[in-house]
């Protein structure tokens, strides 16, 4: 009889212990599920960030390519090669003839300002419309300032 | 003097071009203002002169350039 009671008590304690362990495991499981959900959110956000970074990189690359092309055009324009194959160096010109370069830049600056005016809607003057020679055009933006000028 | 100017111009724009006095540097030879400054520096070095930096930008034709160089040589 005593043995049976002891056995029943032992069984009861074992069941209680199992219940207690089960509660702990359930709690841990809930915590883990919460952590997994959090991690999933973080991963989703990271994937979004990566996609955005890729887009920005693409845009930057595209802008960089445009700037490189513009720089090459400007380089060809300013440091052009003459008939003898010698490359003109604006820096050297500025050192040798600073006043001349200053005057040219002053003229170009006025032309650039006029380009902005035209771009903002200012009507073309008769002179601008009738310009057909290179010496008559606005060298900074002939495509908008001198509609009758055909590059030659 | 004329020969030196023509030689500098033909080195710059090509020997196949015409360099008559009435030829316009910008309209006929396709120069820009920087080309004219570049040419003036070459002439300064070749002829040991110093072309006026403002006057050089008033040059329109080959004849104008020759005249400016000649007056510069004479005044030196």
DSSP state of A137: S
Residue A141 sits at the chain B interface (C-beta within 8 Å): no
- Enumerate residues 1 to 60 of chain B having a beta carbon within 8 A of any beta carbon in chain A: 10-15, 24, 26-27, 30, 32-35, 37-38, 40-41, 44, 53-54, 56-57, 60
Instruction: Tally the domains of chain B.
Output: 1
In a domain, A3, yes or no: no
**Better pLDDT: A47 or B76:** A47
Contacts of A144 (CB under 8 A, 6+ apart): A115, A118, A119
Q: Which domain holds residue A50?
A: 40-79
- Assess if residue A47 is contained within a domain: yes
- Which domain, by its residues, includes B12? 2-75
Alpha-carbon gap, residue A33 to A37, rounded angstroms:
6
CA B50 – CA B44 distance, rounded (Å): 5
Q: Over the stretch B5-57, which tens digit does the pLDDT of each residue have?
A: 999 999 999 999 999 999 999 999 999 999 999 999 999 999 999 999 999 99
Model-wide pTM > 0.80 = no
Query: Domain tally for chain A?
Result: 2
Angle at A128 between CA A125 and CA A129, to 5 degrees: 85
Are residues A112 and A71 part of one domain? no
Q: Is residue A5 part of a domain?
A: no
Q: Which residues of chain A lie closer than 8 angstroms to B15, CB-CB? A: 83
The CATH number given to whatever domain includes residue B59 is 1.10.1200.10
Same domain, A46 and A95: no
pLDDT at A69: 82
């Amino acid at each position: 009889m005593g043995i049976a009671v002891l056995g029943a008590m032992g069984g009861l304690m074992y069941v209680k212990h199992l219940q207690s362990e089960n509660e702990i495991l359930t709690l841990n499981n809930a915590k883990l599920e919460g952590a997994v959900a959090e991690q999933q959110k973080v991963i989703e956000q990271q994937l979004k960030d990566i996609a955005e970074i890729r887009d920005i990189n693409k845009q930057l690359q595209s802008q960089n390519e445009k700037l490189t092309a513009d720089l090459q055009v400007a380089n060809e324009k300013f440091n052009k090669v003459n008939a003898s194959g010698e490359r003109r160096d604006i820096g050297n010109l500025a050192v040798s003839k600073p006043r001349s370069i200053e005057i040219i830049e002053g003229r170009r600056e006025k032309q650039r300002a006029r380009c902005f005016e035209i771009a903002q809607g200012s009507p073309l003057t008769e002179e601008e419309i009738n310009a057909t020679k290179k010496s008559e055009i606005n060298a900074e933006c002939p495509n908008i300032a001198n509609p009758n000028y055909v590059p030659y | 003097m004329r020969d030196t100017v023509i030689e500098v111009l033909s080195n710059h724009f090509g020997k196949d071009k015409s360099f008559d006095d009435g030829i316009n540097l910008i309209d006929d030879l396709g120069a820009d203002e920087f080309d004219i400054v570049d040419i003036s520096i070459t002439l300064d070095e070749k002829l040991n002169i110093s072309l006026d930096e403002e006057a050089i930008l008033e040059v329109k034709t080959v004849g104008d350039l020759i005249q400016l160089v000649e007056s510069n040589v004479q005044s030196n």
